Amino acid sequence: MERTITFDGDPNIGVFARVLGDIAIIPPEAPEDFKAALRAALGVTLVETTVQGSSIIGSLVAGNSRGLVVSGLATEEEIDILSQHREVLLLTESMNAAGNVIMANDSFAAVHPDMPSDLREAIGEFLGVETIALVLGGVKTVGMAGVATNKGVIVHPRATDRQIEQLEKIAQVPVGTGSVNMGSGLVCTGLLVNEQGYIAGNATSGFELGRIEDVFGFLE
């Protein structure tokens, strides 16, 4: 099976979509080959919607199997669509690009270090997880610098041993470093993954794909 693709020619596929277990949230204009690749590689149900009228779903949505955390600027129609698949928590404060500032699985959520503690606690309670404020490799937008599933976590290649140790204590799954699209440490921008499989931006090298497969346990 082909493990790389673009979104209408753009290898930054994680900017336009967010995979959360058995669903993939994608914009309505997603190309048919992109939809087919997600179904084949990940076995997901496709949820087609914009968020706050935008197609950059990956930056605006985070969550796990229990719920979705979404920009508070989402419209009622968008919230209605998302609510058919998960409970929804809206971020109504200034730090509302949920996909940029939150990385989560069913055990933990890592958040932007400048996020107010009361908001971090609210997110943790909503998702039913332990939370941690974290920087990864000098990047505060942890939702872009890491990708988590219930089988593994891949993070920015410049993440320090200390940062990885912090994650390992709460993640309950293997944590490793990697990159996408020929060296980008913002791994979420070029990777869509769940427990069933993965797909990466088409500029991702064979070595980078190998690291993804290793971290998430897909090596045969």
**Phi, psi at residue 71, to the nearest 5°?**
-50, 135
First to last CA, the chain: 14
d(CA 212, CA 220): 13
Mind giving me the DSSP string for 105-123?
-SSEEEE-TTS-HHHHHHH
| Residue 141 pLDDT exceeds 80 | yes
Residues in the chain: 220
d(CA 181, CA 158): 16
> 108: pLDDT confidence band, cut at 50, 70 and 90?
very high
| Residue 1 pLDDT exceeds 60 | no
8 A C-beta contact, residue 49 and residue 82: yes
| Residue 2 pLDDT exceeds 80 | no
> 220: pLDDT confidence band, cut at 50, 70 and 90?
low
d(CA 133, CA 145): 13
**Domains of the chain from N-terminus onward:** 4-216 (3.75.10.10)
| Residue 172 pLDDT exceeds 90 | no
Q: In angstroms, how far is CA 157 from the centroid of its own chain? A: 17
What's the predicted TM-score (pTM) here? Answer: 0.96
108-118 average pLDDT score? 96
